[in-house]
Structures are given as structure tokens and as C-alpha cells.
Amino acid sequence: MRAQGVPRQEIARQFRITPGRVAMIEQGAATERAQAERRAQLQAEIRLADDLDKVWPVINLVDTLHLLTVARTRLLAHLEEEHKSDMSLREFMDLVICEHGDAGDVFAGTPLLRVRGIGKYGFYSVAAELAETDLGPRCNAEWQRRLAVLRREWRIPSWPPNPRRRQG
């Protein structure tokens, strides 16, 4: 409505909120648009490189994915605690689903689950976003292979849906 020129006062009156709240909603929408543009740009760069071993700034790898806020916050805090400012997509994938873990030990195969505050929805958020993001043919194939191994080890028929899109 603001983009169509409707004054904040009128919107506030119509929805029974304050003009300040309308401004906050506007600001939030602008932030979301900026984040979506940055995410699209970063995804295009990673897709174009299609290189599992190219090193990226950690913030760029995390911002490439549209994660749940708590997952993003905890993941960045964990990587900062580990003094990781740069990492390859392969290292990032290893953090989520490690190729070298013991099949009987859930945490060895999924180091991200050991990160304080991530939890299952945070883990699913990262894993589902990696699966849904086009990272380039080679990178996509590597991630799908890892997911297939985890599905088989965990004996689950399909990957859980992305928590960001769940109802209720």
C-alpha cells in the first residue's frame, strides 16, 4: 500500500495499528528484499564457480541459504568460536553431513547437531536449504549423494520438509 502512495496514517487507521508500526513493517520488508537480492547474487557466484574446494567467506556461505534465524545465528556464532572466517563448500557440507563419521553414531555423521542451539529444526533448515539451492551441477550432485547416504543410514524414506516452510 505504501508503494502505491497510501499514507502511513491511513494504513495505520485501516489496520488499527500505529503509524510507527507501519514504518517498522516497511523497514522489515525493505530488509527482506535486500537480503533476498544478496542471497540471489551469492547463489549465482557459487553456482558459476561450481567448485567444492573454492574458499568463501563464511558469512557468504551462510547468507547464500535462507535459514531459520536461530539456525543462522547459532551457526555463525559456532564458526566464529571455531575461528573460521573462510571455508570451502566441501568443509561446510562436512559440518552438516560428514562423509567420515561412524554410521552407528548420529553425531559423528552430522556434526552440526552437536552445535549448541542448532537442534533438529536448525539442522533440517541448513540441510534442506542446501538441497533446494542451486549450487551448480557438481556441488548439487555432491550434496544429493550425502543426503542419500544419510537417508539410508537413518532409514528415512524422504528428507523432512524445510522448517522455514512448515505450517503452524
The Cα 133–Cα 96 span in angstroms is 15
Has residue 18 got a pLDDT over 90?
A: yes
The Cα 90–Cα 2 span in angstroms is 44
Q: Give me the count of residues in the chain.
A: 168
**pTM to 2 decimal places:** 0.83
Residue keyed to cell 549465482: 44
The Cα 163–Cα 39 span in angstroms is 18
Phi then psi dihedrals of residue 56, to 5 deg: -125, 155
Q: Are 142 and 50 a contacting pair, CB within 8 Å?
A: no
Has residue 107 got a pLDDT over 50?
A: yes
64-89: pLDDT as tens digits: 999 999 999 999 999 999 999 999 99
Question: Sorting pLDDT into bands at 50, 70 and 90, what band is 104?
Answer: low
